[in-house]
Homo-oligomer: A and B are copies of this chain.
């Protein structure tokens, strides 16, 4: 998606350790008009898949995922991190959070993903694939049908996307970073 690539070039910041900071428009301060256009892109890609549930993980995925769910007029479920006293019986998975630098338990309440659901996962980043794999294991536990994974920014130089595609999952990333260099501030994207 050219518009997203342009925004990343204009407003993203490359930090040491292959960190791409998009705090100023995508996942802390958020441009809702851009996110709504991104939701249109995912809707176009999955509109024939009879999506009945959008699934994401708190917190950065929620804003984009609700806009996608609104287009499909289906429910959104977001996995919660850590423990919360307001959850009942849950389905869980463990993921490694690179921003928190620790293993984190994610939970979705039992019954919120059903066996006949056609699920679309939406998330802001795909790097090593830990978050996606955690959600996939919960979706499998619920015996639902995973139709695909919509990602805003895939780090193509990390192996999450490769692994998931090799396992047969359909990944639709709106921007795939081929390489980035914090010393020069340059970033290259894979051709769509």
Interface residues of A in 17-33 (CB under 8 A from B): 19, 21, 23-24, 28-33
Work out how many copies of this chain go into the complex. 2
What residue of chain B has the Cβ atom nearest to residue A27's Cβ? B86
With CB as the reference atom, state the residue of chain B lying closest to A66: B63
Decide if A30 touches B66 in the complex (CB within 8 Å). Answer: yes
Residues of B with C-beta under 8 A to A83: 100
Q: Which residues of B contact A112 (CB under 8 A)?
A: 24, 28-29
A-B contact pairs, 28 of them (CB 8 A): A23-B87, A28-B78, A28-B80, A28-B87, A28-B109, A29-B77, A30-B69, A30-B75, A31-B75, A32-B66, A32-B69, A32-B75, A32-B76, A33-B70, A35-B66, A35-B70, A58-B58, A59-B78, A59-B80, A62-B63, A62-B66, A63-B66, A63-B76, A83-B100, A84-B99, A84-B100, A85-B100, A86-B99
